[in-house]
Structure 1
Amino acid sequence: MPATVPATVVPRTLTVRPGQPLTGAVAVDGSKNACLPLLAAAAATRRHVKLSNVPASADVQLMLRLLERTGFRLSYPVGEPGSLILWPGAFGPTAPDLADAARIRGSYYLVPALLATHGTARLPWPGGCRIGERGMDEHFRVYEAFGDVVQAEDHHYTVTASSRRPGPVRLDLPFRSRGATVAAVLRAVVAGCRLVVGNPNLSPETTTLLAALQESGWDVAAGEETIALGPPADSTRGSLNWWVPGDKIEAGILACALAATGGAGRIEGLRGPDVRLPADLLTQAGIPVTVTADAITVHPAGQLTGRPVRAMASLAPNGLDADFEPALMALALGLPGTHLFGDSINPGRHGNLLPQLARLGARIDELSPTQCRLAGPQRLTGAMVEATDIRTGSALLIAALMARGVTMLTGLDQLRRGHADLPGKLRTLGADITPVTW
């Protein structure tokens, strides 16, 4: 096992060598995609909120710094790693400059809390992974439905809260946007009003937020057609305790890595139903997978079926989360059959992912900007590759474990945005991954 780098040193490159099949057990971190809305909701409630299982990924750490700069206070309970308490602090007369918010996509979740504390929110256009145009139009329609005024500028956008208290709000989304659904829910929390959202997003991240609000006293009814919220009788009494669920995407990545190397192992610390769809795809390909309430187990592969893997991302209820697709694509490079992939949610993702996989020798046919096809198994060869976004980085780790020779992976800042230490978890399973600094 390669020696680890001291914690004070941040590696810039990883070398990845193929080796024995991965085995063992590992626990996932809390989910970045679930944590960011929960942090924003905690700020929107303006109550003491304790969050547990908070991941140390870079995007979450940046969100915490933004909240502190806004005027919220944070404390960290002794002896409880991964836990923090957030509560309102001293808010200045004007909204702070949050230029760093341009580094993450989830900065838009701060708008409702800023409206509550300052009456206005001025933020840079959201950044994060460059995986295609993901506009703010649906978010702006949310705020306009509450009577807020939106102004778009070249480098910023501004939302000014309505001077009147909104009554019940009905909002029908043209597509099941998670960001717009969460924005609407958070805005209703700040307004303290009833809300009905038609055609909502019902991903686990959204339902986690709704469950937290229900624990806080909100009346919540969620179905495929609508989400309905009603405010509690007393929204200021008592403190709250919320839990960040385990990272389903990290679990899927680790499961694909186990399968790609012909290994077997157990991944813990997640909600099993959240990974049911990728688990079913592996099982159909001949890689037995067991899903329980809090874990996923990859068993030794039997006879690979050659059945095609069809990983088509969808915003529909119970659809495949787009963030699973890159890991499944990397795995499919080693599976017999002709496999189909699609991600119309993030139309620029394949533009990042496919060229990097091609550096390893992958042959992937682009059917359109958002769909591709590949035939496996393919022979991959180690090369210099770059994590151009979070999910491309994780897919490259999986492909590198199947490639012959040494792969050098750069762009680790992108990988750390979504995972505090994904390479470390792979090393726990026996992967030969060495951090390099210079």
Structure 2
Amino acid sequence: MELAPARMTGVDAVTVRPGRPLAGTVRADGSKNAALPLLAAAASLRRGVHLSGVPASADVQRMLGLLEQCGYRVAHPVAEPGAVIVMPKGSPIEVPELADAARIRASYYLVAPLLAACGQAVLPWPGGCRIGDRGMDLHFKVYEAFGDTVLLDDTGYRVLAGQARDRVVLTLPFRSRGASIVAVCRAVASGSRLELGNPNLSPETTGVLAALRTAGWQAHASEDQITLDPPPCVTASTVAWTVPGDKIEAGTLACAIAATGGEGRIEGINGPDLKALAGLLDWVGVPITLAPDAITVHQARTVGGRPLRAIASLAPDGLDADFEPPLMALALTLPGIHLFCDDINPGRHGNLIPQLTRLGGVIEELSPTHCRLVGPQRLSGTGVQATDIRTGSALLIAALNARGATTVSGLDQLRRGHADLPGKLRTLGADITEVLQ
């Protein structure tokens, strides 16, 4: 099979100028948040998995390189852009040193593939976005439930595989997406039955379960419990999975369209996954149509100052925390008193609010994770920095309505989650130009 290497290019900054309302049709890339756990589950299976729709975002491409260091073969079929084939090499490997894993916030997804490949995982503490420490205590309790040994030090952690258990029963104290997915991947790596109480049921979690069903696993999910049973027999045949479209990218583009008073359609995503966001937009006067393969933003009705309440939640059908920053940027254009809360990522407001303040935004911090603002506000263009993925996307939206030119730098952070968000905004008519170094 002829293979093509993955490629990523991009400048560090763009200049954004206000212009006409955004309009048109654009297609969302594959989801980073879905691709990373699917890659972990694929590697944990110990069989070939053909995965299509893999995004070119930096975190996903880095994860593919790390999987190769973990002893897996990753093929990029030339005739299928965005497709990879993940296969076990078959021979035992030594425990790799994965210093580059410190650059990914979701590097903990590598534990199950490492345990499947060599019986132990040695990883640095998660890095990536500067939005507070990634809580790992619950993940460690998951591994201990499987009989694994967890060792910690200042530089990172080590997980030593215990003797495989036929059945693992565990109830999470809160609906953590990361802990739910690592429990599922750990069960796959060990071939164990899993009974997981109080699970996270985000599309990223249920997407992994759906993929595993195609590999013969019996998976059932309710608000109370996920149950997962291994297939009665193991085969070596390759299975085919697809990374779903990026709901966060689609929601960000929807907020950008709404912020400029435009109308447009974002294709390639499961519209119902954006139900919580669509409800908030409709509440403030921006009609949204959800379809099985798209979301359509209609021209805003007369807005009456209804307050926007963007409260991130891990509950089923709750608002994904990654929608909160673009909603904050949108709220700067809307009349009313708007409230925002993200207790899931406690450092995010510390990144986002100072950058919006540089543009002239007036935002009252009620606590490190709660804030409110009164809109609409007039912003003025200046230089701002994308200090994390979602801050970068929110700054692009805010810049579309700022007077004058805004230079958004730090796009290496933005590209960790979106291969080319500025390019998609340009497709919709945004005046965005690259700043050449």
TM-score with structure 1 length normalisation? Answer: 0.97
2:350 equivalent in structure 1: 351
Aligned to 1:305: 304
Correspondence for 1:404 = 403
Q: Conserved in 2, the CA contact under 8 Å of 1:10 and 1:437? A: no
2: CA distance, partners of 1:318 / 1:104:
27
Q: How does 1:370-385 map to 2 (within 5 A)?
A: 370-385=369-384
Counterpart of 1:14 in structure 2: which amino acid? V
Partner of 2:85: 85
Name the % identity: 66
Q: Distance in 1 between matches of 2:93 and 2:71?
A: 11
Match of 1:75 in 2: 75
Listed one character per residue, the Cα deviations across residues 170-205 of structure 1 (whole Å, up to 9, x for unaligned) are 011111111111111011001111111111111110
- Residues 322 and 9 of structure 1: CA distance in aligned 2, closer, same or farther (over 3 Å): closer
Residues 11-160 of structure 1 aligned to structure 2 (within 5 Å) = 11-89=11-89, 91=91, 93-160=93-160
Q: Deviations over 1:358-390 (max 9, x none)?
A: 000000111111111111000000011000000
Q: Which residue of 2 aligns with 1:214?
A: 213
CA contact (8 A) 1:102 1:127 kept: yes
What CA distance in whole angstroms lies between the structure 2 residues aligned with 1:93 and 1:107?
A: 19
2:314 alignment partner AA: L
Q: Against the structure 1 CA distance between its residues 15 and 91, is the aligned structure 2 distance closer, same or farther, given a 3 Å change threshold?
A: farther
- Give distance in 2, aligned partners of 1:155 and 1:9: 31
Question: What SS class does the counterpart of residue 435 from structure 1 fall into?
Answer: strand
Structure 1 residue ranges (4+ consecutive) displaced by more than 4 angstroms after TM superposition:
none
For 2:168 and 2:123, locate their aligned partners in 1 and report how far apart those are by CA, in whole Å: 24
Secondary structure of 1:50's counterpart equals strand
CA distance in structure 2 between the partners assigned to 1:236 and 1:152 by the alignment? 36
Match for 1:382: what amino acid? G
Partner of 1:282: 281
CA distance in structure 2 between the aligned counterparts of 1:158 and 1:9, rounded to whole angstroms? 34
Contact 1:391/1:415, CA 8 A, preserved across alignment: yes
Q: Per-residue deviation at 1:279?
A: 1.2
Q: Which residue of 2 aligns with 1:4?
A: none
Determine the structure 2 residue equivalent to 1:389. Answer: 388
Residues 222-276 of structure 1, C-alpha deviations (whole Å, 9 max, x = no match): 0001101111012334211001000000000000000111111100000001111
Q: Which amino acid aligns with 1:356?
A: Q
The question of whether the paired residues in 2 share the 8 Å contact of 1:285 and 1:306 is answered with: yes
Q: How does 1:227-266 map to 2 (within 5 A)?
A: 227-266=226-265
Q: Tell me the matched-pair count.
A: 431
Q: Could you say what secondary structure the match of 1:404 adopts?
A: coil
Identify the range of structure 1 (114-123 vs 76-85) with the bigger mean alpha-carbon deviation: 76-85
Unmatched tracts of structure 1, length 5 or more? 1-6
TM-superposed deviation, 1:8: 8.5
Report the equivalent of 2:368: 369
Contact 1:44 1:116 in 2 (8 A): yes
Deviations 1:88-139 (A, max 9, x none): 1155541111110000011111101111111110011111111123221011
Show the counterpart of 1:170: 169
Structure 1 residues 28 and 8: CA distance shift in structure 2, 3 A: closer
Partners in 1 of 2:89 and 2:354 — Cα distance? 47
Tell me the secondary structure at the aligned position of residue 142 of structure 1: helix
Structure 2: any 5+ residue segments left out of the alignment? 1-6
8 Å CA contact 1:310, 1:341 repeated in 2: yes
Letter in 2 for 1:140: F
Q: Where do 1:415-426 residues align within 5 Å?
A: 415-426=414-425
The letter of the residue matching 2:390 is: R
* CA distance in structure 1 between the aligned counterparts of 2:116 and 2:92, rounded to whole angstroms: 13
User: C-alpha displacement at 1:216, in angstroms?
Assistant: 1.1
1:50–1:83 Cα contact (<8 Å) kept? yes
Q: What's the secondary structure of 2:400's corresponding residue?
A: helix
What is the DSSP-based 3-state SS (H/G/I as helix, E as strand, rest coil) of the residue aligned with 1:352?
Answer: helix
**Secondary structure at the residue paired with 1:143?**
helix
8 Å CA contact retained: 1:282, 1:289? yes
Flag the 1:93–1:64 CA change in 2: closer, same or farther, 3 A: closer
Hey, what's the Cα distance between the residues in 1 that align with 2:8 and 2:317?
41
- What secondary structure, in the 3-state scheme, does the structure 1 residue paired with 2:339 have? strand
Structure 2 SS opposite 1:368: coil
> Contact (CA 8 Å) 1:70, 1:91: kept in 2 or not?
no
- Normalising by structure 2, what TM-score? 0.97
What amino acid does structure 1 have at the position aligned with 2:131?
I
Is 1:316 aligned to residue 315 of structure 2?
yes
> 1:12–1:412: 8 Å Cα contact kept in structure 2?
yes
Q: Distance in 1 between matches of 2:153 and 2:411?
A: 32
Deviations 1:315-374 (A, max 9, x none): 011110000000000000000111111000001100000000000000011111111111
| Higher deviation after alignment, 302-311 or 347-356 | 302-311
1:45-90 per-residue CA deviation (whole Å, 9 max, x = no partner) reads: 0111000100000000000000111121122223211111110115
Tell me how far apart the structure 1 counterparts of residues 8 and 284 of structure 2 sit (CA, whole Å).
42
CA distance in 2, matches of 1:104, 1:134: 11
| Inter-partner Cα distance in structure 1 for 2:85 and 2:295 | 30
The 3 A distance-change label for structure 1 pair 293 and 12 is same
Kept after mapping to 2: 8 A contact 1:25/1:265: yes
Q: What secondary structure is seen at the aligned counterpart in 2 of 1:122?
A: strand
For the 8 Å contact 2:245–2:269, the answer to whether it is kept is yes
| Residue identity matched to 1:95 | V
Residue number in structure 1 paired with 2:327: 328
Aligned partners of 1:231, 1:79: CA distance in 2, in Å?
A: 33
- Distance across 2 between alignment mates of 1:232 and 1:204: 23
Q: Which amino acid aligns with 2:167?
A: P
Contact 2:166 2:191 in 1 (8 A): no
Distance 2:66 2:425 in 1: 31
